[in-house]
Amino acid sequence: MTPASMQAHRRPFQHYAARHFRWQCSEDGGVATITLNRPDKKNPLTFESYAELRDLFRDLAYASDVRSVVITGEGGNFCSGGDVFEIIEPLTRMPMPELLAFTRMTGDLVKAMRRAPQPVIAAIDGICAGAGAMVALASDFRLGTANARTAFLFTRVGLAGADMGACGLLPRMIGQGRANELLMTGRAMTAAEGHHWGFFNSLHEPAALVSQAQTLARSLADGPWFAHGMTKTMINQEWAMGIEEMIESEAQAQAICMMTQDFKRAFDAFAAKQAPQFKGN
Task: Give the span between the Cα atoms of 224 and 226, in whole angstroms.
Answer: 6
Answer whether 221's CB lies under 8 Å from 67's CB.
Answer: yes
pLDDT of residue 158: 85
Answer whether 238's CB lies under 8 Å from 257's CB.
Answer: no
C-beta atoms surrounding 227 within 10 Å: 20
pLDDT of residue 6: 58
Task: Give the span between the Cα atoms of 48 and 66, in whole angstroms.
Answer: 23
Q: What is the H or E stretch that residue 180 is in?
A: helix 176-185
pLDDT digits (tens, 9 = 90+) for 72-103: 999 999 999 988 888 888 888 989 999 999 99
Task: Give the span between the Cα atoms of 54 and 50, in whole angstroms.
Answer: 6
pLDDT digits (tens, 9 = 90+) for 144-189: 999 999 999 988 888 898 899 999 999 999 999 999 999 999 999 9
pLDDT of residue 130: 94
What is the phi/psi pair of residue 205, to 5°?
Answer: -65, 145
C-beta atoms surrounding 181 within 10 Å: 14
pLDDT of residue 279: 83
- What percent of the chain shows pLDDT beyond 70? 98
Residue 56 pLDDT greater than 80, yes or no? yes
* Helix segments in 25-161, DSSP class H: 47-59, 89-91, 96-115, 131-138
DSSP SS3 for 69: strand
pLDDT of residue 4: 59
pLDDT of residue 133: 97
Mean of pLDDT values over 111-137: 97
pLDDT digits (tens, 9 = 90+) for 2-53: 555 556 788 999 999 999 999 999 999 999 999 999 999 999 999 999 999 9
Residues with Cβ within 8 Å of 231's Cβ and at least 6 positions away in sequence, in order, are none
- HSE-up of 163 (CA within 13 Å, CB side)? 28
pLDDT of residue 5: 58
Bridge partners, 205 (sequence order): none
Answer whether 113's CB lies under 8 Å from 120's CB.
Answer: yes
pLDDT of residue 84: 81
Bridge partners, 32 (sequence order): 25, 69
pLDDT of residue 3: 56
CATH T-level assignment (fold) for domain 3-222: 2-enoyl-CoA Hydratase; Chain A, domain 1 (3.90.226)
Residue 129 pLDDT greater than 90, yes or no? yes
Q: What does the mean pLDDT of the chain come to?
A: 93
Top-confidence range, 3-7, 79-83, 217-221, 226-230 = 217-221
Q: Distance of CA 210 to CAs 72, 122, 156, 191, 273, Å?
A: 7, 9, 30, 16, 33
pLDDT digits (tens, 9 = 90+) for 246-269: 899 889 988 888 888 888 888 888
Work out the angle at residue 50's Cα, subtended by the Cα atoms of residues 209 and 19, and round it to the nearest 5 degrees. Answer: 80
